[in-house]
Structure 1
Amino acid sequence: MRKVIVVFFVLTVSFMASTSCRMQPSRNLGDTVEAKYFEPADTATLTATRAKATDTTTVDSSDIFYIGNASTRRRVQLVGYPHRQDSAIYAKGKHVKVKGNADFGHVVRAKFYITDKGDTLVTLLEEWKPAAANK
């Protein structure tokens, strides 16, 4: 009986010893990742290429605007023509010349005056009618 217990004990210890050698070796990479596994994307070039691919900028006329609803006696809101994307509110000059109708929603050509301090004033509003409307 003793031999059986000893054989059983020896077999158990031998199984434990052999399985402990089969464990997978661990790679301790630490808390950082090597550069060959992780290279951050260059976001500047990605953004530039996406912007070029999806470039849908529309060019508004430089001096032709709609008169916006936020216009008052002292200020005029000019909305970009023809797409109405840009909007700016300008102060009127002391004497604003108006040729034609410069009411809300009308298309006008604006002339600007820049003061010494850098302020931009509107000095002329001239109603502008597209060529297709004149025919």
Structure 2
Amino acid sequence: MKDRRFGIAAVSLAALIGAAITIGNTAGLRLNFTDSAPHGLWFVRATGESAIKRGELVEVCPPELPLVRLMADRGYLSPGDCAGSGVTPLLKPVSAVPGDTIRLQQGQPVTVNGVALPNTVAMPAVPA
């Protein structure tokens, strides 16, 4: 009898956690455990492109590209619900806005208005 009650309690708890995660995600709550943004609970809301400012965090879905598939296959990107790519949306800081000059050069960090962005040199194991 105790085993049955334990089983019912475990299934009920799992259902409750699943419902809470689903409702939270629908409401715009995101748990971030990646290094692309500070770890923690974030609230995501829709906004127009013109309202985005440098330094703000945005949620983005990587496009369906061979490079994104390679990164997912290697475990750099987690499986998720982004349409097309099938990976988890990423929280990323905005580094450039309309009017900024962006420079990409192989083997060099990305620059915005002549200022190098940290951690933007391509990984040698990633062909891009």
TM-score, normalising length: structure 1:
0.27
Structure of larger gyration radius = 1
